[in-house]
Structure 1
Amino acid sequence: MIPILNQVGAIFIPVNNIEEASDWYCEILGLPRDGEILYGHLYILPMNGTGIVLDSKIFSEDNIIKTPLFHFNTDNIESAYEYMKSMNVHLTTEIEHNHYFNFRDPDGNHLMVCKC
């Protein structure tokens, strides 16, 4: 029996300021900001499915995500794009192939939204 499961438990995102980052992510994802900051540097976003952990301890200019390592799902790519524009999110691409677009968080991490 293999003791490692073929599941992704959580994705860590390096952030500079844990309070500001947790507020920003909760706002753009429509999540309640009712969790606590753990150990002074971790915030676990209450996601459905694979978790996201914001971590200010691992932040450095060298650790900024330069290529999206995962994507947020959407059922409507056009609505998602317009929503992110209305939230003044730094969009780095237009909608590509009617399927996805990229953006940056306030710390410069490159992320993606993709039509599922």
Structure 2
Amino acid sequence: MNSPVLTQIGTVFIPVSNIEQARDWYCDILGLQADGEIQFGHIYVIPMNGTGIVLDSKIFSEENIVKTPLFHFNTENIEEAYQFMKKKKVDLITGIEHHHYFNFRDPDGNHLMICKC
């Protein structure tokens, strides 16, 4: 059966309370320059390879905080990634699980994951 809906994810929206602080934090952990433009006063598009991430302060509310990771960031070295995040004083929720992934929180409490690819 043909479908006009593609088997691709275009972007993931993450609710954040302060767009400037969120931009700086995400860019820092991803090793990116935080010099991109904030659009419409509430949106920052993180330059990614593949599926995009959009930080959006307009959709932020306590109810919209993501409590279960909806996606994961890839890494080739899970131990190095864990130590990097620990050094950055990121709120780590788990240790490295099954030698494969760990969970953490962004400053707004959104749950995220890094997984060995």
- Superposition TM-score tier, normalisation by shorter sequence: over 0.9
| 2:78 counterpart of 1:57 | no
Deviation of 1:6 after TM superposition, in Å, equals 1.3
Query: 3-state SS of the aligned residue for 1:113?
Result: strand
Shift of 1:33: 1.3
Amino acid at match of 2:111: H
Q: Does residue 10 of structure 1 match 2:11?
A: yes
Kindly provide the CA deviation profile for residues 66-90 of structure 1, in whole angstroms up to 9, marking residues without a partner as x: 0001000000000000000000100
1:4 to partner: Cα distance: 2.0
Please tell me whether residue 89 in structure 1 is matched to residue 90 in structure 2. yes
Cα deviation digits, residues 30-81 of structure 1 (max 9, x gap)? 0111210001100000011100000000000000000001000000000000
1:18 is displaced (CA, Å) by: 0.2
Amino acid at match of 2:74: N
Which sections of structure 2, spanning at least 5 residues, go unmatched? none
- CA shift, 1:97, in A, is 0.3
Q: What is the aligned-residue RMSD (CA, Å)?
A: 0.8
Cα deviation for residue 28 of structure 1 reads: 0.5
Gaps of 5+ in 1: none
Q: Tell me the percent identity.
A: 72
Tell me the TM-score normalised to structure 1 length: 0.97
Question: How many residue pairs align between the two structures?
Answer: 116
In structure 2, what is the Cα distance between the partners aligned to 1:64 and 1:97? 26
Cα shift at 1:109: 0.2
